[in-house]
Amino acid sequence: MSPSPYPGTDLTSANTLGLPCTAEHFAAPASLAELQAALAEARARDWPLTLLGGGSNLILPERLPGLVIRPAMATWWLEEGENDRVRVHVEAGVVWHELVMALARRGLWGTENLALIPGHCGAAPIQNIGAYGVELCEVLEALQVVDLADGREAWMTPQECAFGYRDSIFKGRLAGRVVITRLVLCLSRTARPRLAYGDLAGRVGKAPTPLAVAEAVCAIRRDKLPDPAVLGNAGSFFKNPVVEAGLAERLLLEHPGMPHFPQLDGRVKLAAGWLIDRCGLKGLREGHFGVHERQALVLVHFGGGSAAELLGFAARVASRVQERFGVTLEREPRLAGER
């Protein structure tokens, strides 16, 4: 397609929350050259830039000034390595879940626990997607970025990406400065199932395959998480909070059954969904938004709402948790335009 950005594009169906949004200009470059041309045009016209992937972890305002770019390069290929290792080269516009299922069908281990996470591959490193005991950073070997300021390409190692829990350098120092264009993942033909999380082991047989694990993960997610095609949502709306050991101990005295996960640094990760649930907010609906009835960590959009209303609703949920437990919840999806 032409790199020339076209004006007044409706992005309502391009974000899984289903928030109404119009981009002043929009481009979906299908090659690196088209991406670089779109960036050059934005620079020449002094347009602010917003990058979009699958729109599954993003809160969009009603109007986005300047240029919205959604990378549409979408091929991937395998490279055989040593010791049963297989490298997967994947471009930013590939749909993450489709890649995961294709790799699982080929009998490759590494990404099967990350099945059914919505979004595009290029966005996966930004929040270091994770589920069922596995994070993207464990299989990522390298990634390619293009500098928004000069269109130049560069490769980064996982160390340079500063990955953390739902975090990376792309949410910090490099936010709004680069676009991720390609990932290199390292998978294995040797069985290495990761089944310790929740009831995953109980759902797969004695000799699990990557496909069986991926299908079990899909079944668990479908049980708990709303399908964005049916009910607008951005997955977990808050991060699981990591608190000081003293606070966790005090809360455990009062709530011995509270889920808690000691961290290497001595702090303790709590389950935000459990905290919200215990405030009695599961299933709560206010205006156009609500707390999902099966997973309290997910805020849902019933249609007709706006980003401002969603942020107000989320702030009220967070303040109830703060009042009841003294725990601060941090928003997980990014707000477009926020630096």
**Which residue numbers are catalytic?**
166, 236, 332
Of all residues in this chain, which one has the CB nearest to ligand EPU in the complex?
A: 235
Which of residues 145 and 296 has its CB atom nearest to ligand EPU in the complex? 296
Q: What is the largest CA-CA distance in the chain?
A: 62
* Cβ closest to ligand EPU, residue 144 vs residue 236: 236
Q: Nearer Cβ to ligand EPU, position 146 or 234?
A: 234
Per CB under 6 A, residues contacting ligand EPU are 131-132, 197-198, 224-225, 235-236, 239-240, 259, 271, 273-274, 277, 282, 295-297, 332
| Closest separation in Å from C-beta 97 to ligand EPU | 13
Q: How far is the CB of 164 from ligand EPU (least distance, A)?
A: 12
Three-state SS for the chain is: CCCCCEEEEECHHHCCCCCCCEEEEEECCCCHHHHHHHHHHHHHHCCCEEECCCCCCEECCCEEEEEEECCCCCCEEEEECCCCEEEEEEECCCEHHHHHHHHHHCCCECCHHHCCCCCEHHHCCCCCCEECCEEHHHCEEEEEEEECCCCCEEEECCHHHCCECCECCCCCCCCCCEEEEEEEEEEECCCCCCCCCCCHHHHCCCCCCHHHHHHHHHHHHHHHCCCCCCCEEEEECECCCEECHHHHHHHHHHCCCCCEEECCCCCEEECHHHHHHHCCCCCCEECCEEECCCCCCEEEECCCCCHHHHHHHHHHHHHHHHHHHCCCCCECCEECCCC
Smallest gap from Cβ 235 to ligand EPU, in A, equals: 2
Least CB distance to ligand EPU at residue 328 (A): 14
**Both tokens assigned to 196:** 């310790």
Q: Give least dist CB 202 to ligand EPU, A.
A: 14
Compute the least distance from the CB of residue 98 to ligand EPU, in Å.
18
Amino acid at 193: P
- 54/273 with CB nearer ligand EPU: 273
